[in-house]
Chain A
Amino acid sequence: MTRIKTSAALIALVAALAAPLSAQAHRQWILPSSTVLSGADAWVGVDGGISNGVFIADHAAMRLDNISVTAPDGSTVATENPMQAKYRSTFDVHLTQPGTYRIANASSGVNATWVLNGEPGRWRGPASGLAAAIPAGATDVVSAASASRLETFVTLGEPTTTIFTPTGVGIELVPVTHPNDLVVGEAATFQLLRDGQPLAEADVTVARGGTRYRNNPEEMTVKTGADGRFSVTWPEAGMYWVNTAWRAGGPRPEGAPGGGRGGPPVASAQYTAVLEVLP
């Protein structure tokens, strides 16, 4: 029973990690009720979902298992009032210290495949467990790391930068412009790192919410430079979904044979930031 559950969870996780790299992927998002707050303490309600239109809860709720909230002083903050509904999940974050908080849904690990006595084997887990997971005598061993990060930032009082120290795993954002200091008409610059190194020549999708109420999606794509930096001049106030994905060897070709989940694992990483731009 436990084994079946684990397998199901594994398949779901692998699928979740692989899905955003395909063209028809639904988009995973989180949506904070506020990002700029004042006062001695404050509450932020956060919704999370997976859908075609960003921030439009009409497809699937986001799982809350991997949500982590980091306070300005580096401590972990417990989420409150979590609930998973049909189309969205929700939870609250109580901000009790001044500065910038990170609200993230992040995961990373290694996928491995092998052949043992003619039978294929497959495993996913933390990088530290890889060596022990591969059985003795296995051949055709292929392993690849994957990482996924979806995050947003909220600030009580003055913005701080303590939470932006990169971990060196997967794609991460380093602010040049503070992500809670975004105003329509002004340019903002951010740097993307992958495993701690600048993510050069990456396409970054910039999608503003509210597509149900306009005909043109008004999406933008910008490219990172050699230093991993990209800039956006916000055309409208609103909540933005900013996403990029990386895959070893480049994007999977459309309809390529053997490119499905049955093939050997390929290293990949994806990143999404949800940013609020004020008028």
Chain B
Amino acid sequence: MRSLPLILTTAAVLGAAAPALAADLTVTVELPRIPVASYHRPYVAVWIERPDQTAVRTLAVWYQQTRNNEGDGKDWLKDIRTWWRKGGRAMTLPADGVSGATRAPGRQTITVPGARLANLPAGQYNIVVEAARELGGREVVRVPFRWGGANTGRVSGTTELGAVSVAVTR
């Protein structure tokens, strides 16, 4: 139980929101607070894959957006290894609505309007979340979900990721 007492559950948020604003796919990613001397926020990628683990599309990728004296943030995208191989290396970044800055520890939410997934055939998929941290480790969490009807899923990571929740609202 990590320290974020005032987080509403995904279902509660969706239940309270007006239907017009409801996201059709919501992914909640908990980035654990890791007590080390030299903490760097993780690089994180979130994507949809088929049950055979082929990638469908990237929903989010969080990385250092600037260049510093160690190089450009994109130099380390390859450390999100699985994502890089399955889709990242074919993308042009930054990508609108997908790429963004690294996120702080805590619960982070990605909402994807159904319109963005209009071409996704109904069926069984996984949400994959991969986190890779400088001077730290790497972890991949897969959460099965069904596209084409309301359902939810939740799987917890053990090292670099906390709970990952997926909610499909229609």
Q: In the complex, A65→B88 CA distance in Å? A: 37
Chain B: residues with Cβ within 8 Å of the partner, total of 13
Contact of A157 among B71, B72, B76, B89 (CB under 8 A): B89
A157 to B74, CA, bound (A): 10
Given A38-B74, A39-B72, A39-B75, are A279 and B89 neighbors across the interface (CB < 8 Å)?
no
Q: How far is the CA of A139 from the CA of B89 in the complex (A)?
A: 60
Chain B nearest Cβ from A108, distance in angstroms:
34
Interface residues on A, range: 10 to 19
- Chain B binding surface SS class: helix
A151 to B74, CA, bound (A): 27
Q: Does B78 contact A (CB under 8 A)?
A: yes
A278 touches B81 (CB 8 A): yes
Report which of B74, B85, B90 forms a contact with A39, defined as CB distance below 8 A: B74
A39–B71 Cα distance when bound, in Å, is 9
| Contacting residues, chain B, for A106 (C-beta < 8 A) | none
Q: Are A40 and B81 in contact (CB under 8 A)?
A: no
In angstroms, how far is the closest chain A Cβ from the Cβ of B74? 5
* A38 x B89 contact (CB < 8 A): yes
> Any chain A CB within 8 A of the CB of B77?
yes
Kindly list chain B residues whose C-beta atoms are within 8 Å of the C-beta of A39: 71-72, 74-77
Q: Does B84 contact A (CB under 8 A)?
A: yes
CB distance from B157 to the nearest CB of A (A): 16
Contact A38–B85 (Cβ < 8 Å)? no
Q: Which of A157, A158, A278 has the most CB of B within 10 A?
A: A157
Q: In the bound complex, do residue B81 and residue A38 qualify as a contact, i.e. CB atoms below 8 Å apart?
A: no
In the A-B complex, list the 4 residue pairs whose CB atoms are closest, starting with the nearest.
A39-B75, A38-B78, A38-B77, A39-B74
10 A-B pairs, CB-CB below 8 angstroms? A36-B85, A37-B78, A38-B77, A39-B71, A39-B74, A39-B77, A158-B90, A181-B85, A278-B81, A279-B81
Residues of A bordering B, CB below 8 Å: 36-40, 42, 157-159, 181, 183, 278-279
